[in-house]
Amino acid sequence: MEVTVLIQATDEAFKIIEEARNRALDVLNTSVRFTAEAKVLEEKKVQDIFKGAERTKSEVLSFLATFALLFFPFWMPLSGFFDVFHLSIGVGCCALVAYISHDLLFVNVRVGDMRTIVKRFFAYIPWLLYQIYLASVHVIKIVLKPKMPIDPRIIRFKTKLQTDISMVTFANSITLTPGTITVEIKDGEYYVHAIDEEVAYDLLYGGEMEDRVAHVYMEAEHVYVQDVLDVARIYGALR
């Protein structure tokens, strides 16, 4: 009898000890969780501050770039007066416009690439003019033939270009070339009106203009012939 009482007492004592241990574990876990949460929150706060600083920095950068682009190549030749009065008006106006619309001009531009893009763009223009000349000759031939063999059609093709600005450059290059007009860009597909079959097939299967535009805007996975040649030249010089 005494033995059973003793055993029961021991059991109860064990139970109490177990409970106490569980409770202590719970408290420990909770405290650990709270610490972790506090840590995450703090990290988030630091990150937010960092991100805010980053955004402010990029805003200031785009403001300065817009200001420079507006003031030096646009306002100064337009104005033509270089006295203090007119220059200060110019600085004020450019600062106002740059403040209103600094987020319009420079969107999704990697700052380091800007110089290369501008250089390549100006190199692209003579080629485009030559292409316009060729297409004009083609259209003149069609028009002067007595039968006038036009065969108008709207072709649709998917583009490899990725950014907005390159798509727009390509679309406007197509429109500038006589015989073809970009009707619409929708979901990365071009709808182009072409005057006859040859022009259409040139655009569909030639793809040189698209490659060149991709080269201008430095889009990934585009190896333009000029690049290969450049590399070969460097390789030869090294050897």
Contact residues: other proteins, CB under 8 A:
66, 70, 74-75, 78-79, 81, 86, 89-90, 93-94, 96-98, 100-101, 104-105, 107, 164-165, 167-168, 171-172, 182, 184-185
Judged by beta carbon, residue 70 or residue 135, the one nearer other proteins is 70
Q: Which is nearer to other proteins, 66 or 180 (CB)?
A: 66
Nearest residue (CB) to other proteins, 92 versus 149: 92
- CB neighbour burial string for 165-193, b if at least 16 within 10 angstroms, e if fewer: ebbebbbebbeebbbbbbeebeeeebebb
Please report how close the Cβ of residue 193 comes to other proteins at its closest, in angstroms: 14
Q: How far is the CB of 192 from other proteins (least distance, A)?
A: 12
Which residues are CB-neighbours of 170 under 8 A, at least 6 positions away? 159, 161, 190, 209, 210, 213
Min dist CB 81 to other proteins, Å, is 8
**Phi and psi dihedrals of 191, rounded to 5?**
-115, 110
Nearer to other proteins, 139 or 169 (CB): 169
Specify the residue, 117 or 165, whose C-beta has the smaller distance to other proteins. 165
Q: Shortest gap between Cβ of 96 and other proteins (angstroms)?
A: 7
What the block records as the tokens of 223 is 């190896």
CA 154/CA 189 separation, integer angstroms:
12
Instruction: Give the helix/strand (H/E) hosting 172.
Output: helix 164-176
Instruction: Please report how close the Cβ of residue 69 comes to other proteins at its closest, in angstroms.
Output: 8
Q: Classify residue 91 as left (phi > 0), alpha (psi -120 to 50) or beta.
A: alpha
